[in-house]
Amino acid sequence: MENENKNVNEILDEKKEEKAGKENPKSGKKTGVILGITALLILGIIILGIIFNGRNIKLGGNVVNEDEDDKIFRVNPVKDPQVTYYNFRGEAYPDWAKFGMTRSNGARGHQGIDIFALPGTDVYAVLDGKIVDMYVDKTGYGLNFYMEVDPKELEKIKRKNFKPKESAREWAYSENYDPNTMQIKYIRYCHLSEVNVKIGDTVKAGQVIAKTGTTGNASGTHAPHVHFEIAFEMRGKGLINRVNPEMYFKIKNGKDLTEKDKKAQTEASKTEWFETKGYDKGFSEKSTLLEAGKNPNENKNLKNMKQKKK
């Protein structure tokens, strides 16, 4: 019995020694590797933090908003911009407001983005720029104007991670846009109720330049908004010469809309918002620029697109 017990103990001791001899150095190595990886991760996080802080661009004005995608600061066209959730008739139709072939089941295009705004909301210059055209389009854009900006400044605020994703009907830009050769420099604000600027004025980023309205074909809408466009030529039928403003600005939509946002839009949709009488007083009813024929590139682009399509 004793011998047997000894033997058992000896065997157990041997096993303990085996463990001590073989496994301990291994777990020592493992601990070292884990510590090393942890240290590298912490160092990486610190370095990333420094890089992103360095990329922050602070602009003037009281509507500086941060895009969590890329940490670039932007002045938005209106405060806390959100896509119009309802259509003209007040039916839930979030696609309606987006850029692309988003209307009539994909048959009809929308050449800008509709940003929800109760009439009278402040409209901001998104960059430094110059007002180059302004007129009243009674059956379309209402009181609207174009601002010309430095294409390099616009490029700086481009969203690196933007991809149209709400629906397949949403486009990033028109068919005649070539990102490698074309410079985008026109910002357009439409359906305004009043403006604080005139053609030829230079404006600063963050400056209040107009108030939103429901003028032109937005009169009678259940979804008051500012129609906002970004273009590389001032005119163009349908989507031609335009790009999706969401390529540059983060406009809340879909899941990003808070309960408060939705409530405000639902409340607004209960009213038919008509344009104010006399809003057009003192404004030209035609684009001065188009009439003067100062936009020769537009035809060239149209021609290029037709050739591409062939």
- Residue 114: CB minimum distance to Zn ion, A: 4
Please report how close the Cβ of residue 137 comes to Zn ion at its closest, in angstroms: 12
Task: Kindly state whether residue 188 participates in binding Zn ion, applying the rule CB under 5 A.
Answer: no
115 within 8 A of 251, measured Cβ to Cβ: yes
264, two tokens: 């405000």
Instruction: Choose the stretch contacting Zn ion; rule: CB under 5 A; options: 112-120, 130-138, 167-175, 286-294.
Output: 112-120
Instruction: Please give the size of the binding site for Zn ion, defined by CB under 5 A.
Output: 2
Of 67 and 114, CB closest to Zn ion: 114
**Which range binds Zn ion by CB under 5 A, 28-36, 49-57, 226-234, 261-269?**
226-234
What is the closest distance, in whole angstroms, from the C-beta atom of residue 239 to Zn ion in the complex? Answer: 12
Q: What are phi and psi of 307, to 5 degrees?
A: -65, -40
Among 74, 76, 95, 114, binds Zn ion (CB under 5 A): 114
Structure tokens belonging to residue 168: 């397949």
The residues, ordered by sequence, that sit 6+ positions from 196 with a Cβ below 8 Å of its Cβ are: 208, 209, 210
| Minimum distance of Zn ion from residue 141's CB (angstroms) | 9
- Stretch of 15-23, 106-114, 163-171, 205-213 contacting Zn ion, by CB under 5 A: 106-114
Q: Token match 């104010």: residue? A: 276
Told to check if 227 binds Zn ion by CB under 5 A, we report: yes
Question: What contacts 24+ positions apart, CB below 8 Å, involve 148-151?
Answer: 148/185, 148/186, 148/187, 149/185, 149/186, 149/187, 150/185, 151/183, 151/184, 151/185
CB 111 within 8 A of CB 238: yes
Q: How far is the CB of 104 from Zn ion (least distance, A)?
A: 14
Closest residue to Zn ion, based on beta-carbon distance:
227
Of 23-31, 77-85, 158-166, 225-233, which part binds Zn ion (CB under 5 A)? 225-233
The answer to whether 52 and 221 are in contact (CB under 8 A) is: no
Phi-psi region at 58: left, alpha or beta (left = phi > 0; alpha = psi -120 to 50): beta
Q: Looking at beta carbons only, is 72 or 230 nearer to Zn ion?
A: 230
Nearer to Zn ion, 135 or 228 (CB): 228
As a whole number of angstroms, the distance between CA 273 and CA 52 comes to 43
Nearer to Zn ion, 188 or 227 (CB): 227
The binding site for Zn ion (CB under 5 A) comprises 114, 227
